[in-house]
Structure 1
């Protein structure tokens, strides 16, 4: 389940809640951009006992983007074998998708910033969505969040 958070006083954001446990979520927020070819934003993961955030995830407009990955998952709502994955160029955000019986998609969202730095860290959560409508809605919400006209 996704929810675009469009409070007029706040910056745009999108929150993905796990339908099995609503306390597990992923939020795309605090969007900003330095160049015409990229959008910078934060990603937050939340679960009982876990809060993790990366402040500067970069979405490049010329690269295979997260929206296209999510749209492909939504198109394949009848399922697939194995696991599919996507990551940012810096690999600070990775998303893995697995299809389960009953028409559900498990999306594992992993944050691993500063991979080369000493003391680096990683965190992940898994959100479960219906393969069709909820995954389509997620793709649409992420596309709107990353769109230039919303800046």
Structure 2
């Protein structure tokens, strides 16, 4: 599943390589790409009892008319974080940040921002993420 920026199609976020060892979690890789940047985290973990990315995106879709400030979400391990801002004209900017090995020497992070229409594009993204995390074909 790939999220492309409406303003700059060379900027994207790719969810791939989904797998699961048990009923409590889903693991997947996330890649961010922009001109001159490619970064990947191989094992992002989504726990079934945690507030997942789908819930965060659904809340953004519900507020398609906009909000003030920044909204944030992250995995329990904080290796994937997403911040959202609303821009006039009905666009949502999602900044996707990869930050693996936060407590290890050699820590790094990489971020890209994708701009999407607050209505249909955000609804489609939310549906795609839901299907990806559930292991279903969208």
Q: TM-score, normalised by structure 2?
A: 0.97
Gaps of 5+ in 2: none
Give the CA deviation at 1:149.
Answer: 5.0
**Root-mean-square deviation over aligned CA pairs:** 0.8
Q: Distance in 1 between matches of 2:2 and 2:136?
A: 20
- Aligned residue pairs, count: 137
One of 120, 124, 131 as aligned partner of 1:144: 131
Distance 1:149 1:106, change over 3 A: closer
Alignment-derived partner of residue 61 in structure 1: 48
Gaps of 5+ in 1: 1-13
Is the 1:15–1:25 contact (alpha carbons within 8 Å) kept by the matching residues of 2? Answer: yes
CA deviations over 1:5-52 (Å, ceiling 9, x no partner): xxxxxxxxx100000000000000000111111000000000000000
Give structure 1 regions of 4+ aligned residues with deviation exceeding 3 angstroms. none
Q: Distance in 2 between matches of 1:148 and 1:135?
A: 20
Is the 1:26–1:44 contact (alpha carbons within 8 Å) kept by the matching residues of 2? Answer: yes
Is the 1:70–1:139 contact (alpha carbons within 8 Å) kept by the matching residues of 2? Answer: yes
Q: Distance in 2 between matches of 1:149 and 1:77?
A: 26
Alignment-derived partner of residue 115 in structure 1: 102
Q: TM-score, normalised by structure 1?
A: 0.89
Give the CA deviation at 1:100.
Answer: 0.5
